[in-house]
Amino acid sequence: MSGICIRDWSGAAEVWDAYVHSAPEGTVCHLYGWREVIERAYRHQTFYLAAMRQGRICGLLPLALIRSRLFGRHLVSMPYMDYGGVVTQDGEEVRQQLVEAATQLAHDSQATLCLRCGTDQGLALPVWLDKLTMRINLGTDVDALWKWLSPERRNRIRKGHKHGLKVSFHASEHLEAFYRIFATNMRDLGSPVHSRQFFHRMFASLEPYLRLILVWHQDTPIAAACCLFYQDTVTIPGWISALRPYFSLCPNQVLHWELMRYGIDHGYRTLDLGRSSKDTGTFEAKRQWRATPVQLYWYYFPDVPPSQRTPQPFSRQVALWQRLPVSLANAVGPSLRKSIPN
């Protein structure tokens, strides 16, 4: 016998996180604080599986079960994030046992399992390769990074600065300003928005790893992002928006550039622009920053859902959502968004 037992972790969060910090596969998405965020903000059931050998952790797999009459049942590591999957430094046997425990949970819950891995883990499961993340090597020299950017990017950044745009970095004290911008833009895109509670819980549980970035035109915040800071990487996990009347001032370009500068000044070496599907508009927009595509490996059990293989057109629903008043979209959107694992 291997001497490995799998259990739902009930020990100290610090012990779980210490293992995440020590493992090359560990990401900010594996931290224990997300358990409280997901459970308290959205009331989803979570399973934080720990592989134990002789009383010590030898592998981890965080999971959340999302039940929805509209979207089905999904057991995901990790929902709303780009990354998840097994974290282990103790060999393939540990990985295999954690994955087997997850597939059994999915079977028992009548749910589709999705493990969102940043590397090829060689699992004996169907894998979906549509998603890539886009990364920029920041280096250590702001001037060198500026020269490396394309002339078009530099011109847009200069334009924003000429219009007097300023950027500030914050903890949670400007969360309402961020949320107003983010929620308005999500309505404009025709997509339901995360709840305020989701972001409040993030800062309550994970504040050392979070920053809000605001772009100001005079005294008005016109663009904002909520970013993750972990080890040597800054990540923009899709929580970034600008108000459309100010697009001509290039606030998004200024935000990205000032975030890069901030990252270098604080010792970060990589900017992760978040996932995109191949050859989409968001993918091409990130390529304009000369970001490098990095393949993501999303493993499924029992199989990749048909909705992933052949995405359904939602143009009519998007158009209807875009017509909603922001207040109504904000009231209705979170009840839908919490059930969408992406």
Tokens of 192: 């339901």
Q: What are the sequence ranges of the domains in the chain?
A: 4-129+297-313, 133-293
The H-or-E segment that residue 235 falls in is strand 233-235
If you count them, how many residues does the chain have?
342
Q: In the predicted model, what is the mean pLDDT of residues 80-100?
A: 96
The reported pLDDT for the residue numbered 62 is: 99
Q: Answer whether 267's CB lies under 8 Å from 122's CB.
A: no
The reported pLDDT for the residue numbered 1 is: 45
Q: Do domains 4-129+297-313 and 133-293 have the same CATH topology?
A: yes
Question: Which of 20-24, 161-165, 203-207, 275-279 has the least mean pLDDT?
Answer: 275-279
Backbone angles phi, psi at 165, to 5 degrees: -65, 135
Residue-wise pLDDT for 270-329, tens only, equals 999 999 998 899 999 999 999 999 999 999 999 998 777 666 666 788 888 899 999 999
CA distance 251 to 184: 16
CA distance 43 to 195: 12
Q: In the predicted model, what is the mean pLDDT of residues 18-38?
A: 98
CA distance 62 to 315: 34
User: What percent of the chain is modeled with pLDDT above 70?
Assistant: 98
Whether the upstream peptide bond of residue 302 has omega within 30° of 0, thus cis, is yes
Q: Answer whether 236's CB lies under 8 Å from 275's CB.
A: no
The reported pLDDT for the residue numbered 54 is: 93
Q: In the predicted model, what is the mean pLDDT of residues 44-54?
A: 98
Fold designation for 133-293: Aminopeptidase (3.40.630)
pTM for the whole thing? 0.94
Question: Which of 25-29, 41-45, 170-174, 329-333 has the least mean pLDDT?
Answer: 329-333
Options 3.50.50.60, 3.40.190.80, 1.10.10.370, 3.40.630.30; which CATH number does 4-129+297-313 get? 3.40.630.30
Place of tokens 């920029």: 136
Tokens of 75: 């057991």
